[in-house]
Amino acid sequence: MGVNSNRVEDHPYHETTIRIPTEAAMPPLEIHRVCLPPKQTTLQKLRRRLADIFFPDNPLHRFKNQTWFTKLLLGLQFFFPIFQWAPEYNIKLLKSDIISGLTIASLAIPQGISYAKLASLPPIVGLYSSFVPPLIYSVLGSSRHLAVGPVSIASLVMGSMLSEAVSSTEDPILYLKLAFTATCFAGLFQASLGILRLGFIIDFLSKATLVGFMAGASVIVILQQLKGLLGIVHFTTKMQFYSVVSSVITHRGEWSWQTIVMGFCFLVFLFTTRHIGKTKPKLFWVAAAAPLTSVIISTLLVFLLHSKAPRISVIGHLPKGLNPPSSNMLYFGGPHLALAIKTGIITGILSLTV
| H/E stretch holding 303 | helix 284-305
Distance CA 319, CA 354 (A): 31
Which residues, 6 or more positions from 311, have their beta carbon under 8 angstroms from its beta carbon?
A: 231, 256, 258, 259
Distance CA 284, CA 146 (A): 21
Domain ranges of the chain: 95-310+333-353
How far, in whole angstroms, is CA 80 from its chain's centroid? 20
Q: What angle do CA 83, 88, 91 make, to 5 degrees?
A: 120
Whole-prediction pTM value?
Answer: 0.71
Q: Is 241 helix (H, G, I), strand (E, B) or coil?
A: helix
Q: What angle do CA 183, 111, 279 make, to 5 degrees?
A: 140
Q: Identity (one letter) of the amino acid at 235?
A: F
DSSP state of 20: P
Q: Are 247 and 231 contacting, i.e. CB atoms less than 8 angstroms apart?
A: no
Backbone angles phi, psi at 293, to 5 degrees: -65, -40
Q: Are 54 and 201 contacting, i.e. CB atoms less than 8 angstroms apart?
A: no
Which residues, 6 or more positions from 102, have their beta carbon under 8 angstroms from its beta carbon?
A: 292
Rounded to a whole number of angstroms, the distance between the first and last alpha carbons of the chain is: 94
Distance CA 194, CA 216 (A): 28
Nearest to 323 by CA among 119, 180, 190: 180
Q: Identity (one letter) of the amino acid at 65?
A: N
Q: Give me the average pLDDT of each 10-residue run along the chain (354 residues).
A: 46 49 62 78 84 71 80 82 86 86 79 85 87 86 79 86 86 91 92 80 77 82 82 77 84 83 89 89 82 84 76 74 81 88 89 75
Distance CA 270, CA 262 (A): 12
